[in-house]
Chains A and B, each alone.
Chain A
């Protein structure tokens, strides 16, 4: 089995998988953040705030699941922010026209899935570096969304079901959080226990070796792009529902937040390394930092500065820790 040689497999599937040593730094950071913020602002631990944080995490986590798969396979997608905005507009527009939430959701998924397919085909068939290919797609989508609609697509259908996708609750838990949790669980099992998931690691770690062992690397990468596209569709639908409009300007910088969270979670840009549990921690750290800045009433512009510092610091700590492990 080719998969036996993969580093992730060696770590085993026991409890140690959860406290994987590359994630100790992040868990520590998370603990420090929670303790620090709650000392300064006791309302941090209120149920309302916890739910607010989870809701904030949901959107990023949904797309980050796909992005983790892509980075593991050695590719990247910078078009997710632009695609998110466009999908939101498509979802709202189609629901307005058809008065059917199902059709609106299907249209959103079809559109974003097609964007993922396009990205995947450009990268795997034309052999274009995915960083540059998806910058190009980002430009196409940013221009395209304004050709599609000059202003925000307002909610004319007033369907309750549509609003529920983003703003609804099941018991005390917001629906987006449930969707994100399900996607995370499915993604976790896929990446860790299915052949597809293990093959993604193989392709990302050593493309030549994977090809020589008979893996259809191009097809696997294509699939990862389509999955990412579909997940962007889910996130776009939730975003349109939350904002009660399709905003062409939404999602600016979203791609950087997602990539920052995934990388913070220990996934390597070079491919072949990374776990979804790490991604979850990365998303939590970034969003708790965001939340802390808000409830401590610091200047909101720090929401750009602090994550920047956190990404650099966490990556550096990881390097230091790995160097010590090697000794």
Chain B
């Protein structure tokens, strides 16, 4: 991506292979991921088994799909924290429509329709009305969660028709090995990484996030680009919500509480800057994988589950701190 104006502005002057490797934060993330895997492979007998590794991939895929969307919004210079409530909200139209029509396709369509509406509202408020996106999406985070509580009366809505296809979506495995959610996550990651790197739209997102004023003078429709990013983010979070509902087997009103923090932490850990224009989707995906393997590995050691949170917190600080330190080096 050296052609990106925003990246060259952040300073990648002299070549040299070692320096390039040092600068490309993805390499550092891969090393960190391998270190995490190696550590737990040595520390636990059951960690490095196909079953466990694919389990982690399945679990990570939900945060990864939503993370891709959140990363795109971050790169465009905005923030989206509404995903935590959205994953719970989309399960309601999904399950109720499926219960009424016994059709998975109609259920998914209904869920995507809700996701699209939320994306349009977020994007309209933040991009066109110019309301700070953290406020906007904090607002929709509240509204959606409250809406879910109101609609469900704080009870889970059970899946009455029990479609096999719906169950397989979140719990099935290709050749009995690779979980379908991981395949979906990987496919979406590749598609959007391609778009962000090689299509005009992706380059526009980097330009808009890096310097909106320059992007506007260059003739880009800044508002429209940001609007589209919010819609992408909401639709991807909807996909996460559908897979989560399939895993839970119902529309659970408390699903996804705190999910937004988990996703934001992973995406920032992956080197996507909160100030816009910097970062890559592969980095974001690696951030998600690191946190997922970490929490799985810690769960395998005989530690109280609460240690997971504590250690993850310290690792985020250490990793982001190291990244910042690296960036300051001449």
A interface list, Cβ under 8 A from B: 78, 122, 126-129, 131-133, 135-140, 142-144, 146-147, 256, 259-260, 263, 269, 299, 301-309, 311-312, 315-316, 319
Contacts and interface: CB of A to CB of B under 8 A. Distances in A.
Nearest to B143: A308
Contact of A132 (B146, B309, B312, B316): B316
Contact of B265 (A132, A147, A259): A132
A135 B316 contact: yes
A299 B145 CA distance: 14
Contacts of A319: 129-131
A136 B316 contact: yes
Contact of B142 (A127, A308, A316): A308
Given A135-B265, A143-B313, A129 B274 contact: yes
Interface of B: 125, 129-132, 134-136, 138-143, 145-147, 149-150, 154, 261, 264-265, 268, 274, 304, 306-310, 312-314, 316-317, 320-321, 324-325, 328
A143 B310 contact: yes
Nearest to A259: B138
A138 B261 CA distance: 10
A298 B10 CA distance: 53
**7 A-B pairs with the lowest CB-CB distances in the bound complex, closest first:** A143-B309, A304-B146, A308-B142, A305-B146, A126-B321, A140-B313, A139-B313
B186 to A, nearest CB: 26
A312 B306 contact: no
28 contacts: A78-B261, A122-B317, A127-B321, A132-B316, A133-B320, A135-B261, A136-B265, A136-B312, A136-B313, A136-B314, A138-B261, A139-B316, A140-B309, A140-B310, A140-B313, A142-B306, A142-B309, A144-B306, A144-B310, A256-B138, A260-B142, A301-B150, A305-B147, A311-B138, A312-B125, A312-B135, A316-B125, A319-B129
Contacts of B328: 127
B309 A139 contact: yes
A143 to B, nearest CB: 3
A311 B136 CA distance: 8
Nearest to B318: A126
A146 to B, nearest CB: 4
Contacts of A311: 135, 138-139, 142
Most buried by B among A143, A269, A316: A143
A256 B150 CA distance: 20
B135 A263 contact: yes
Contact of A269 (B130, B134, B325): B134
A305 B145 CA distance: 8
A305 B142 contact: yes
Contact of A304 (B130, B142, B317, B321): B142
B321 A128 contact: yes
A136 B313 CA distance: 4
A81 to B, nearest CB: 11
Most buried by B among A128, A129, A259, A311: A128
B41 to A, nearest CB: 24
A316 B129 contact: yes
Nearest to B149: A301
B150 A302 contact: yes
Most buried by A among B125, B139, B264: B139
Contacts of B135: 260, 263, 269, 311-312, 315
Contact of B268 (A127, A129, A306): A129
B212 to A, nearest CB: 14
B265 A305 contact: no
Contacts of A263: 132, 135
Contact of B320 (A129, A140, A315, A316): A129
Contacts of B310: 139-140, 143-144, 147
B145 A315 contact: no
Nearest to B312: A139
Given A136-B316, A139-B265, A256-B138, 16 more contacts: A126-B324, A128-B320, A132-B264, A136-B312, A143-B306, A143-B310, A146-B304, A259-B138, A263-B132, A304-B142, A304-B145, A306-B146, A311-B142, A312-B140, A316-B129, A319-B131
Contacts of B138: 256, 259-260, 308, 311
Nearest to A125: B321
A76 to B, nearest CB: 9
A312 B130 contact: no
